[in-house]
């Protein structure tokens, strides 16, 4: 066991709620913890996964690539809706395509399922690795915090590539430290995970694990590891698997593939490019703010472990130092990158939750007064859960009695899309018993935390349980209501019925929602093209900006609802006057 864990007495040993802490310790045994974590994962990531349509830009953008694979577009370099090269490698798309073929078709469920399954696998992997490196109590807490972090939850339920990348990078990071500490003789899983990470989102899947390993080796002066890692055969394996796909895709896509996937998505996103606009460019401190938000509800725990680690810096041990190097390397890398998004930081979440867990199962510091930290954390967490549960019940009463109250509250946040509140009401009515029981189940652990102020292991477990209830409510009621308010699924179906066998094109730009729900490869044209089709699909704002001389020849035959919560966006089906 690491010196950091063996040298400190568990917080629960001196805590008055030792019985509950003992129960959590029993829960941490693999025969119980793994089924519990799997069941929690089903609630968090799989419940109602396919119960609502695609409505964001990102999900249908990946879904149309999966659709193209399944419908004969090829496995090396399929095209988005038959017209556009994908912007990311295809690991997630391949997994989703296999699942879709097995399920009999590409649906909302099958395109989201890879993220959900890999999110669950990542949580269980975190438990197994941290248990091997430290102890099973720390392992359980780390897995619970990872599973219920806001950013992890978001990535684990969407048809995006980020959770696929996160899972394989997590395996690569942990496999290295197992090798370094002599806990495994295997090498192939490390290099297979790196290759899969590269095939998930590009060279970052190699750069971050490699940089972390080299920095830690330098700090620990463990240069003999370079030989033990068998780098040459490992690099050959990565080159064959990941590099082989890049070569094949470049042969198929040519310069367009190189410009998009290698230059635009990697070089320019990191260093910037004066000739292109990067939509995710943010100041250097952006990722820290994104991390504080994405780690919720565990953000409040950060100060205590930080203090403890600073005071015990000479007694941390190589394993805990590795987790710190992992965390800092990923954080600094994305601080330096020009393109910044909170989801990019997912690669550091397993390290950070592991650091938190190892710290929490020991003492926060050597000072006697440090026992106030778990009590304060329990009180704050309890108040938050109790408030969330009561707010849920109040909201349920409000939407059934007087929808104007909720509409007014949402309007203050500039959420004015018509039909949203009614959609929430209908979603709650379809699961009315659950709509009542879930807020009660959220408030119950909150009340326990306020009244009992239990040991830190119990506090984390209860907050995770309460947050699972909040997530389930969001997946059953809120997300479906938002999706049904903003989706273009119904508009697309009606538009294709109107178009029938006539010619149709996008005006100026591809729309991924329409492409997915139409199941058609629709070409793109400009307003000045000499041979415009009979029907055109355009964004409503773009249509309204067309010069009057051109617009007088176009008739809007179908207008969608908004595609943004502020009641903006939306598509229009235009019919061109035939002369």
- Interval 117-126: pLDDT, tens: 999 999 999 9
Q: Quick one: average pLDDT of 452-465?
A: 88
Q: Which of 517, 520, 479, 519 is nearest to 50 (CA)?
A: 479
- Residue 271 sits at φ, ψ, to 5 deg, of -95, -15
Question: Which residue reads 């095939």 in tokens?
Answer: 199
Say what the pLDDT of residue 9 is.
36
Least-confidence region, from 66-70, 122-126, 300-304: 300-304
Report the C-alpha gap between 555 and 536 in whole angstroms.
10
pLDDT, tens digit, 9 for 90 and up, residues 114-168: 999 999 999 999 999 999 999 999 999 999 999 999 999 999 999 999 999 999 9
Please report the sign of the dihedral spanned by the C-alpha atoms of residue 91, residue 96, residue 98, residue 101. Answer: negative
User: Cα–chain-centroid distance for residue 302?
Assistant: 21
pLDDT, position 39: 96
* Residue of higher predicted confidence among 27 and 272: 27
Question: Do residues 344 and 330 touch, judged by C-beta distance below 8 A?
Answer: no
Domain limits, the chain? 21-273, 369-486, 489-576
128 and 139 in contact (C-beta within 8 Å)? yes
Closest CA to 18 of 373, 385, 309, 374: 374
Peptide bond preceding 297 in cis form (omega within 30 of 0)? yes
Structure tokens given for 285 = 């401190």
Assigned token pair, 463: 């907050």
User: pTM of the entire structure?
Assistant: 0.91
What is the percent of the chain with per-residue pLDDT over 90, rounded to a whole number? Answer: 65
């Amino acid at each position: 066991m690491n010196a950091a864990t063996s040298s400190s007495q568990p917080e629960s040993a001196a805590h008055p709620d030792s019985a509950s802490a003992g129960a959590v310790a029993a829960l941490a045994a693999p025969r119980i913890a793994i089924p519990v974590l799997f069941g929690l994962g089903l609630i968090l990531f799989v419940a109602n996964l396919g119960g609502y349509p695609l409505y964001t830009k990102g999900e249908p953008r990946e879904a149309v690539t999966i659709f193209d694979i399944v419908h004969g577009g090829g496995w090396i370099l399929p095209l988005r809706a038959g017209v556009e090269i994908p912007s990311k490698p295809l690991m997630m798309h391949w997994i989703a395509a296999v699942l879709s073929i097995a399920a009999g078709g590409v649906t909302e469920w099958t395109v989201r399922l890879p993220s959900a399954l890999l999110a669950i696998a990542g949580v269980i992997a975190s438990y197994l690795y941290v248990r091997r490196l430290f102890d099973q109590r720390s392992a359980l807490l780390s897995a619970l915090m990872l599973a219920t972090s806001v950013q992890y939850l978001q990535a684990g339920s969407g048809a995006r590539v980020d959770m696929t990348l996160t899972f394989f990078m997590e395996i690569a990071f942990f496999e290295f430290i197992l090798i370094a500490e002599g806990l495994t003789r295997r090498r192939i899983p490390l290099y297979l995970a790196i290759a899969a990470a590269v095939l998930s989102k590009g060279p970052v899947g190699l750069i971050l694990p490699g940089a972390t390993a080299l920095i830690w080796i330098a700090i620990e002066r463990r240069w003999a590891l370079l030989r033990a890692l068998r780098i040459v055969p490992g690099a050959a394996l990565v080159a064959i698997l990941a590099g082989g796909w890049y070569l094949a895709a470049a042969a198929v896509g040519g310069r367009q593939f190189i410009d998009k996937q290698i230059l635009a998505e990697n070089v320019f996103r990191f260093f910037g490019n004066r000739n292109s606009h990067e939509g995710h460019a943010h100041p250097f401190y952006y990722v820290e703010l994104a991390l504080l938000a994405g780690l919720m509800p565990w953000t409040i725990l950060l100060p205590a472990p930080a203090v403890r680690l600073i005071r015990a810096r000479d007694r941390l041990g190589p394993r805990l130092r590795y987790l710190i190097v992992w965390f800092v390397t990923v954080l600094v890398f994305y601080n330096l990158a020009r393109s910044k998004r909170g989801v990019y930081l997912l690669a550091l979440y397993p390290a950070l939750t592991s650091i938190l867990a190892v710290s929490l199962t020991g003492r926060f510091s050597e000072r006697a007064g440090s026992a106030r930290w778990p009590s304060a954390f329990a009180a704050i967490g309890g108040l938050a859960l109790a408030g969330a549960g009561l707010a849920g019940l109040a909201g349920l009463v409000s939407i059934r009695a007087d929808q104007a109250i909720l509409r007014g509250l949402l309007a203050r946040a500039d959420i004015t899309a018509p039909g949203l509140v009614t959609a929430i009401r209908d979603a709650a009515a379809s699961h009315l018993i659950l709509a009542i029981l879930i807020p009660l189940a959220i408030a119950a652990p909150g009340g326990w935390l306020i009244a009992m102020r239990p040991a830190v292991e119990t506090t984390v477990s209860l907050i995770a349980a309460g947050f699972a209830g909040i997530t389930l409510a969001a997946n059953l009621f809120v997300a479906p209501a938002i999706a049904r308010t903003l989706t273009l699924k119904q508009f697309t179906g009606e538009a294709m019925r109107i178009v029938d066998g006539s010619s149709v094109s996008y005006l100026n730009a591809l729309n991924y929602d329409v492409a997915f729900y139409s199941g058609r490869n629709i070409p793109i044209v400009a307003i000045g093209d000499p041979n415009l089709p009979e029907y055109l699909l355009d964004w409503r704002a773009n249509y309204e900006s067309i010069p009057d001389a051109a617009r007088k020849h176009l008739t809007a035959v179908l207008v969608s609802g908004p595609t943004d919560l502020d009641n903006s966006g939306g598509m229009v089906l235009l019919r061109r006057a035939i002369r």
